[in-house]
A and B are shown apart, each in its own frame.
Chain A
Amino acid sequence: DQQVKQNSPSLSVQEGRISILNCDYTNSMFDYFLWYKKYPAEGPTFLISISSIKDKNEDGRFTVFLNKSAKHLSLHIVPSQPGDSAVYFCAASPRGATNKLIFGTGTLLAVQP
C-alpha cells in the first residue's frame, strides 16, 4: 500500500536555513492532508494541515503547499531550528466520514546547529 509516499528517508539542514519535506500521493480521493512531527517513543504531534480546496496554508514557521495536479505536497520550515529535528510524517484522509489517516513512511529531519 503506497498511497502516500515520502521518498526521502532523511534530510540534513543547517540551523537558520529552509527545510523542505516532500510527499506524493496517488489516490485522487484524498481531500485533506496533514503533517505530523514525531519523536522516538512518542505519539505523532499535529503540525499543520491543508484542505484540497487550498494550495497553501501557513502557520508561523511552517507552510504547507499542495499541488493537486501533481498529487504532491511539501512542508517548508523557515528558519529551521535544532528543536525541529524529528521524524515528519505526511498523512492524507480520503473523503468520507471516518477520516482515517493514511501515513507516509516519514522523513527524518536533522537540523545541525
Chain B
Amino acid sequence: EPEVTQTPSHQVTQMGQEVILRCVPISNHLYFYWYRQILGQKVEFLVSFYNNEISEKSEIFDDQFSVERPDGSNFTLKIRSTKLEDSAMYFCASLLEAVDTQYFGPGTRLTVL
C-alpha cells in the first residue's frame, strides 16, 4: 500500500540553524501539507501546497518557513533560523483530489537546542 515517507525521523539542531525536513508524498497525490504537533498539544496546520504554489498558510507559517517541491517526488519544509519553540513533531500529508482524505507520514521529530 502506498504511503507517505519522511526523513529524517529525528533531527537535532542548534538554535539559529537552518533545517530542511523532507517528505515523499504518495505518487499520484496532488495536494501536499505540513502540520506540526508540539509535545502535549494538538496537531496544527502549517501550510497547504498545490500546483507548485502555496494554497493556504497559517499564522505559524511566517517568513522563517518555506516549502518547495524541487522535483516530481519530494516535498520539503525549510526553517531558516530555528527557534527553541520550533521543537515539535512535523507531519507531512498528501491528498488525492478525488478523495478527501489526507494521508500522513510518520513524522520528523525536530529538537532545537
Residue positions of A touching B, CB distance < 8 A: 32, 34, 36, 41-46, 49, 51, 89, 91, 93, 97-106
* Alpha-carbon distance between A93 and B95 when the two chains are bound, in angstroms: 13
- B42 → chain A closest CB, angstroms: 5
Q: Select from chain A the residue with minimum beta-carbon distance to B99.
A: A49
Bitwise interface map of B from 92 to 107 toward A, beta carbon under 8 Å scored 1, else 0: 0101000011111111
The answer to whether residues A43 and B106 also contact, given A32-B100, A106-B42 and a CB cut-off of 8 A, is yes
Residues of B within 8 A of A (CB): 4, 6, 31, 33, 35, 41-45, 48, 50, 55-56, 58, 89, 91, 93, 95, 100-107, 109
- Report yes or no: A98 in contact with B102, Cβ–Cβ below 8 A: no
Could you tell me if A43 and B95 are in contact, using CB atoms closer than 8 angstroms?
A: no
Partner of A98, one of B48, B101, B105, B106: B48
CB <8 Å contact, A49 and B43: no
Contact A43 B91 (CB under 8 A): yes
Residues A97 and B50 in contact, CB atoms below 8 Å apart: yes
Nearest residue in A to B4 (C-beta to C-beta)? A43
Q: How far is the CB of A53 from chain B (nearest CB, A)?
A: 12
Q: Is the CB of A34 within 8 A of B107?
A: no
A100 & B100 in contact (Cβ 8 Å cutoff):
no
CB distance from B77 to the nearest CB of A (A): 14
Whether A100 touches B101, Cβ cut-off 8 Å, given contacts A43-B4, A43-B106, A105-B42, is no
Q: Give B9's nearest chain A residue, CB to CB.
A: A41
Residues of A close to B100: CB separation below 8 A: 32, 49, 51, 93, 99
Q: Are A41 and B109 closer than 8 Å at their CB atoms?
A: yes
Shortest Cβ distance from A65 into chain B, in angstroms? 19
For the complex formed, measure the closest distance between the CB of B41 and the CB atoms of chain A, giving whole angstroms: 8
> Closest residue to B41 on the A side, CB-wise?
A105
Report whether B44 and A100 are in contact in the complex, using a CB–CB cutoff of 8 Å: no
Which residue among B41, B56, B101, B107 has the maximum number of chain A CB atoms within 10 Å of its CB?
B101
- A43 and B55 in contact (CB under 8 A), knowing A98-B48, A104-B42? no
